Chains A and B, each alone.
Chain A
Amino acid sequence: MFFKRRYFYFCLLLVVLLLGGCNSDDASSSSGEGNKEPQSGGTLNIAYPTQPQTLDPHETTAEATRDAAKVIYEALVTLDENYEVIPQLAESYEQNDDGSVITINLRKDIKFHNGETMDADDVIASMNKWGTKMPELGEHEWISVDDNTVELHLSEPSSLTMYFLADISRIAAIMPKEIAKSAGATGVTEYIGTGPFKFVEWKQDEVIKYEKFDEYQTVTTPTSGLGGKKEALVDAINWNFVPDSSTRVNGLMSGQYDFAHMINYDSIPQLENSNGVVVDVWSYGIEALIFNKKEGLFSDIKARQAVNYALDMEEIMGAAFVSSDYYELDSALFLPSQATWYSETGKENYNQKNINKAKDLLKEAGYNGQEIVILTSRDYEHHYNAAVATQQELQKLGMNVKLDVYDWPTLLERRDNPSNYDIFFTGFSTTTTPNQYVFLNSETEWAGWTNSPELDQLLEKIKNADENEIEKLNNELHQELWEYLPVINLGKNSRVSGYAEKLNGFTNFLGPNFWNVTKN
């Protein structure tokens, strides 16, 4: 019977609550500004597009894992800004004359985040776990010499071994032995490393929280690339997962995030016009068109060459990466800063736009108008845009081209079946050695099925070469790449991140780095 009055009070209560909510809102946001007052420490709010499957860097080459894991973990050696190997948890290392034994002296008194001290056993347990995922190393064995010395014995010595150990795409992270040994099918579940920040908690699909690790011991050489002096200058990092690109941008502009990773190229003008935000353009690697060389038209080398002669790379890269600020027409597999590996050999076959020659080659290959299928996905807008532009180019050549658009996981499955497609697109973050490009080596059986004895031989030679032979072999490799065309390297591209102006010391080297960063 008191229904009416009760309802009225209920409404009143809700109104009060709501108004209260709004008011306090302003209050709390202004107190949020209070936090921005100059002070060392503070919490860094990162907006990162994808949540990694695991923080165990041994398990996957996914970038989401790499970027989030390198905050916690370190390896024996790492890369400097010229992509050369420098010590990290190793004090020093040496290789014997035939390269079959590498002796590594460990730094002393390095603490794990759980308080234990790192010793040779931890290194060996970690490296054994990591080694099972690294067939490139060949047969090998880790031996403990004493508490602070380990040896790596290789049955196939290679000049590239140290690069593998330093490579960041599958970090050779050192973790406590009990944890390394506890790993299941999908890796470890306890994330303990030696890095400047320690893992605190992971709220699925929301955030990973890190905290400054007080007992972190830095190398004292100057900061360079991923190595040298590293310090945790903020108290904590919140690694938020924000899959939606425009949400990352909006959050950055409204000050909710200090850093937003991977910004859509079209949002850049909007960020540049907004106060207090810095746009950071960083070299990523190559964009590639992958041929299916097992079945169909492109099992014929002439057909691949025809496509290569026809393509106007400017059109394709322009469609994919919007403006020449974010791409570079370059035939090399590596970045110019990677002095050892950068090679322009073979560029006479790149970006020829020679339709007549292409038509002749296509005729020689016996093309008679059959349908060519390009496999693509909207999940990666640039691959998709490159595919759309390539379709237009090939249609000009008189080819009958169809786009098959799927979501990314479906594409991954379909590309493993040679009867499903002729071409797909993907990108490769720059690697430390050519041997890590899966599309060069026939043994990987990677989608597209490269099968070139010449390329295989060259890779094998590079693996066993000494330093002065490498340049020549690498040039030959690039030459062969542009003849055999397992893929067409379309060009270099950059990715874009944005961060708040008040962020100091930020670097992007093979992904964003948050040590040495202050927020004032």
Chain B
Amino acid sequence: MELKTTAIDNVNISKLKNKTKLERRRLLVKRFLFNKSVLIGTIILLFLTLFALFAPLITPHSPLAMENANRLQPPSSEHWFGTDNFGRDLFSRVANGAQVSLTVGLSVAVITAIVGLIIGLYASYYSLLDHILMRVCDALMAFPDILLAVAIMAVLGPQPVNVVIAVTLAKIPVVARVVRSSSLVVKEQTYIEALKSQGASSWRIIWKHILPNILSPLIVQVTYIFAIAIILEASLSFLGAGIPAPNPSWGNILLDGKIVIFNASWMTIFPGMFIVFAVLGLNLFGDGLRDLLDPHSNKSIK
């Protein structure tokens, strides 16, 4: 509306462009605020990020300091979430665990996105490469992800970095496939054909023309991978093959807590709550983002 009046005015084009951009952004913000899923998801994620960043600072307790006399104390004003089986402060452990779990999840999401993107893009462009890469992806996907991750952890040894590597390797094929199938569709478009016949380099076509068109499904997929990575890390740590103790992560607090679940249920409840919270936030965010970025698609895969 405002846009129309501006267009009638005799302003130069760059100004107009700027205005359009601004307007688009405003529209996006509006839609964003209108989309309840994204909104709630964002609030949850924001809260978790703040929690992970600042909660470890506001507690006087170290997540590692053991105090045998103080074992398994229920939540109190001194220990907000109680203490664990070594007498360590659970709030501090959950807070530091949030850092670990979220960092692992985020790293997995970012790395799978980048690697999956490269594999998917090039696979879609070169059909020989496609055959090879997709067979490798098939083979990786034919492994149950948790078993693959456990085996990789056993090979590499228990280090937080290795958790990221193990989960990333298990999830790259998923992203690569999504990227590949979306870019195959783009690649068939006439304008790509046109570019090709004009002699544009493959690098230019892939990165300048195909990439922007597949970003939306990629971003949505990566949000889900983030959520899955958090669950997978928790499961791995819960099986004792994840983040090495004594470092806290939500999964290995739950592992410690499983032994004492009947006399210290807080050790299960608090980290459990945070996992559910984080995954819920990401799922909501992903769902909303999908509707936002691609209003036509209603497919809810995962």
Q: Which of B71, B72, B241, B263 has the most CB of A within 10 A?
A: B263
A406 interface residue (CB < 8 Å to B):
yes
A427 interface residue (CB < 8 Å to B):
no
Q: Report the separation of the CA atoms of residues A225 and B86 in the bound assembly, to the nearest whole angstrom.
A: 36
- Which B residues are CB-close (under 8 A) to A392? 66
**Which one, B40-48, B184-192, B223-231, B254-262, is touching chain A?**
B254-262
Q: Which of A250, A385, A405 contacts B244 (CB 8 A)?
A: A405
Q: Which of B85, B86, B157, B259 contacts A246 (CB 8 A)?
A: B259
B154 interface residue (CB < 8 Å to A):
yes
* Chain A residues numbered 345-404 whose CB sits less than 8 Å from any CB in chain B: 378-379, 384-385, 388-389, 392
Q: Report the separation of the CA atoms of residues A379 and B255 in the bound assembly, to the nearest whole angstrom.
A: 12
A269 lies within 8 A of B263 (CB): yes
7 example contacts (A-B, Cβ-Cβ < 8 A) are as follows A246-B261, A249-B262, A269-B263, A270-B262, A405-B245, A406-B158, A410-B154
B154 lies within 8 A of A318 (CB): no
One digit per residue, 1 when the CB lies within 8 angstroms of any chain A CB and 0 when it does not, for chain B 84-95 equals 011000000000
- Which B residues are CB-close (under 8 A) to A266? 72, 85, 259-260, 263
| Chain A residue at smallest Cβ distance from B85 | A266
- Which A residues are CB-close (under 8 A) to B157? 406, 410
A407 lies within 8 A of B260 (CB): no
- Which A residues are CB-close (under 8 A) to B261? 246
B259 lies within 8 A of A245 (CB): yes
Q: Report the separation of the CA atoms of residues A319 and B68 in the bound assembly, to the nearest whole angstrom.
A: 7
| Chain A residue at smallest Cβ distance from B72 | A266
Q: Nearest chain A CB to B82's CB is how many angstroms away?
A: 14
Given contacts A379-B240, A410-B154, contact A318 B68 (CB under 8 A): yes
Q: Which of B72, B241, B261 has the most CB of A within 10 A?
A: B261
Q: Tell me what chain B mostly uses at the interface: helix, strand, loop, or mixed.
A: loop
Q: Nearest chain B CB to A379's CB is how many angstroms away?
A: 7
Number of A-B contacts (CB under 8 A): 47
- Which A residues are CB-close (under 8 A) to B71? 322
A270 lies within 8 A of B263 (CB): yes
- Which A residues are CB-close (under 8 A) to B259? 245-246, 264, 266-267
Q: Report the separation of the CA atoms of residues A319 and B66 in the bound assembly, to the nearest whole angstrom.
A: 9
- Which B residues are CB-close (under 8 A) to A407? 154, 158, 240-241
Q: Report the separation of the CA atoms of residues A264 and B86 in the bound assembly, to the nearest whole angstrom.
A: 14
Q: Nearest chain A CB to B160's CB is how many angstroms away?
A: 12
Q: Report the separation of the CA atoms of residues A405 and B154 in the bound assembly, to the nearest whole angstrom.
A: 11
Q: Report the separation of the CA atoms of residues A378 and B242 in the bound assembly, to the nearest whole angstrom.
A: 11
9 tightest Cβ-Cβ pairs between the two chains A and B: A270-B262, A266-B260, A405-B244, A270-B263, A264-B259, A246-B258, A266-B85, A246-B259, A266-B259
Q: Report the separation of the CA atoms of residues A385 and B84 in the bound assembly, to the nearest whole angstrom.
A: 14
Q: Report the separation of the CA atoms of residues A250 and B85 in the bound assembly, to the nearest whole angstrom.
A: 18
| Chain B residue at smallest Cβ distance from A406 | B157
Given contacts A245-B259, A270-B263, contact A388 B246 (CB under 8 A): yes
Q: Report the separation of the CA atoms of residues A322 and B66 in the bound assembly, to the nearest whole angstrom.
A: 12
A378 lies within 8 A of B260 (CB): no
Q: Nearest chain A CB to B285's CB is how many angstroms away?
A: 34
- Which B residues are CB-close (under 8 A) to A379? 240
| Chain B residue at smallest Cβ distance from A392 | B66
| Chain A residue at smallest Cβ distance from B246 | A388
B154 lies within 8 A of A378 (CB): no
| Chain A residue at smallest Cβ distance from B252 | A378
Q: Report the separation of the CA atoms of residues A406 and B157 in the bound assembly, to the nearest whole angstrom.
A: 6
Q: Which of B154, B240, B262 has the most CB of A within 10 A?
A: B262
Q: Report the separation of the CA atoms of residues A241 and B66 in the bound assembly, to the nearest whole angstrom.
A: 33
| Chain A residue at smallest Cβ distance from B65 | A392
Apart from A392-B66, A405-B245, what are 14 other A-B pairs with CB-CB below 8 Å?
Answer: A246-B259, A266-B72, A267-B263, A269-B263, A318-B68, A319-B66, A319-B68, A319-B86, A388-B246, A405-B158, A405-B244, A407-B154, A407-B158, A407-B241
